Chains A and B, each alone.
Chain A
Amino acid sequence: MLRTIATKVLRDSWRGLLFWNLGIAALAFLTVGSYPAIRDNPELNQFMESLPEAVLALIGESDLVSPAGYLNSQLFGSIVPLLFLFYAVGAGAAAIAGEEETGTLDLLLANPVSRTRVLLEKAAAMLFGLVIIGFSLWAVTMAGALLVDMEIGAGRLAEVIVSAILFGFLMGALALAVGASAGSRGLSIGIAAAVGIAAYLVQSLAALVEFLEPVARISPFYFYYEADPLRNGIDPLHAGVLAGTSLVLVVLAVIGFNRRDLRV
């Protein structure tokens, strides 16, 4: 674990990562475990149909009884991407700015490692953490679905989770870029979390608020969710936008980090 910077990051953060996994697993288990109560309650859909258009738009799903509709409304429409966002932003801010503020970055960089390598390895560790959490979410959801006899495709579930990972990584890359360029963990978390939450709000309100609609089209959340990956699979174009933007941010992080004076 001490052979590379990336594995060292995972070694340092394994306890935190474990709690993230436990939390996500508990969330998935409780959500899927509650599904039979919803499924056996078809009046719910009738009730939904009676709701005004605007309220439905806000909820984002008109069909709460189908497995996909249920999982979208309970997990993938809000809480899962937000959790991925918070995990990634925390990791992205800690990567450079966190180590800089702790004061160990001087010592690390006195070793024969370039700033670029430090940054890329830490970005890789962030992505790996997201993948681990995503895998837990997938595994527990699938296991729960088997138990309660909920019909959900393993592949489609993986696709929506991959899409959420891409969304989280994008926001983490933003935090990484701000932190690497400014050397401030607080600023990095603040900006990235604010952008991420704004992205979510804009996308979820756009259905109601007309003037937000064009704005929503540039929201990362739009590219994560609009194509409904749980039902339709990943839209390659949307996934490409998320991945491409992340790449640009990582490159900006490298440039910003290499250009500046490190803080004491």
Chain B
Amino acid sequence: MTESNGAVVRTRGLTKSYGTKRGIVDVDLEVHAGEIFGYLGPNGSGKSTTIRLLLDLIRPTAGTAEVLGHDAHDAPLDLKRQIGFLPGEMALYERMTGRDMLRYFAYLRGMSDLGDADTLAERLEADLSRPIRSLSRGNKQKVGIVQALMHRPALAILDEPSTGLDPLVQQEFYRILREVRADGRTVFLSSHVLAEVEHTADRVAILRQGHPVVISGLAELKAQALRKIELYFSAPVSPQEFSRLPSVRGVRAENSMLELVIEGMVDDIIKVASRYRVENVISREQDLEEVFLTYYHDGTDEAATPPTRVAAGVAGEGV
């Protein structure tokens, strides 16, 4: 099915300029057959631009993009039978029912039936019988996922797929992605939230201002990532005691609360904290901003520019 040592997606120096803003610069990616590849970056970092280049919806300023062994622009039309796509700014045919839209796409893809659509819809609890305009954001997203996967594509390109899905459905969706991988098929998954890919992705690329700053296995990435915990004490506690600890990178005190930026295990922190009366511990999911924290601190450029903080409480969710 694919040539050239199993690279399902390969970009070389892929660049797209839009005047001064956005776009991507010199992106080199290699996505292997049978993996789930996480493509991470904050909003506006160029994820959707890359994806739209892969699908030949836009054309590169420089560089090349190959999908399933063919140049994205010159690929034979039939190649798209093997690709599934969920757009980030997803818009569906609002006046059709989900099932009618799936039937339409099935015809265009030359399918004799709806493929896996019914199984997928059942698992995601997608309602295919109602007009799409009457569905909530999350329920539209489910229909979008079904159309992207119903024809068992060799490569599924999913842009922010779990936007609006409730947690249980999200878990089922991740299971589906793992089954796709087990089937030897490939998933290219973009997200601005690390949590979205950490349960599934084998490797990730992190995009910053249109350029990947790191491409690595997810496990390594998480080990390096900084994250935050908040400790609520009955009475104010001296921050110095914590800032000395090897895993602590930063401390901020506010009344009787300490916010710690940490790397690695929390064991020593818990041991110190246990000497006091602890009312609450809040450890948030690492979100991308926090992963970026790592690369901004280690990076040479713009070290003085901290990433914009996501307000506590909404971190880890799609914004």
Contact A110 B91 (CB under 8 A): no
Highest count of chain B CB atoms <10 Å: which of A4, A103, A106, A108: A106
Determine the chain A residues whose CB is within 8 A of the CB of B57 once the complex forms. Answer: 106, 109, 261-262
Residue A237 is within 8 A (CB to CB) of chain B in the complex: no
Pick from A111-119, A124-132, A136-144, A162-170 the stretch touching chain B: A111-119
Alpha-carbon separation in the docked complex, A109 to B103 (Å): 16
Residue B81 is within 8 A (CB to CB) of chain A in the complex: yes
Alpha-carbon separation in the docked complex, A108 to B52 (Å): 13
Determine the chain B residues whose CB is within 8 A of the CB of A103 once the complex forms. Answer: 87, 89-91
Answer whether A106 and B52 are a contact pair too, CB < 8 Å, given A261-B59, A262-B58: yes
Residue B80 is within 8 A (CB to CB) of chain A in the complex: yes
Contact A111 B105 (CB under 8 A): yes
Alpha-carbon separation in the docked complex, A8 to B101 (Å): 10
Answer whether A112 and B80 are a contact pair too, CB < 8 Å, given A3-B107, A262-B52: yes
Contact of A110 among B80, B96, B107 (CB under 8 A): B80
Instruction: Tally A-B pairs: CB < 8 A.
Output: 64
Determine the chain A residues whose CB is within 8 A of the CB of B312 once the complex forms. Answer: none
Answer whether A113 and B77 are a contact pair too, CB < 8 Å, given A102-B91, A107-B85, A107-B90: yes
Determine the chain A residues whose CB is within 8 A of the CB of B100 once the complex forms. Answer: 2
Q: Which residue of B lies closest to A103 (CB)?
A: B91
Residue A37 is within 8 A (CB to CB) of chain B in the complex: no
Alpha-carbon separation in the docked complex, A261 to B60 (Å): 9
> Which residues from chain B sit less than 8 Å from chain A, CB to CB?
48, 52, 55, 57-59, 77-81, 83-85, 87, 89-96, 100, 103-105, 107-110, 147
Could you list 29 examples of A-B contacts with CB < 8 Å?
A: A2-B100, A2-B103, A2-B104, A5-B108, A8-B104, A12-B93, A12-B96, A103-B91, A104-B91, A104-B92, A106-B52, A106-B85, A106-B87, A107-B85, A107-B90, A107-B92, A107-B147, A109-B55, A110-B80, A110-B84, A110-B87, A111-B108, A112-B77, A113-B77, A113-B108, A262-B52, A262-B57, A264-B48, A264-B89
Closest 10 A/B residue pairs (Cβ): A103-B91, A110-B85, A261-B58, A112-B80, A111-B108, A2-B104, A262-B57, A3-B107, A106-B87, A112-B77
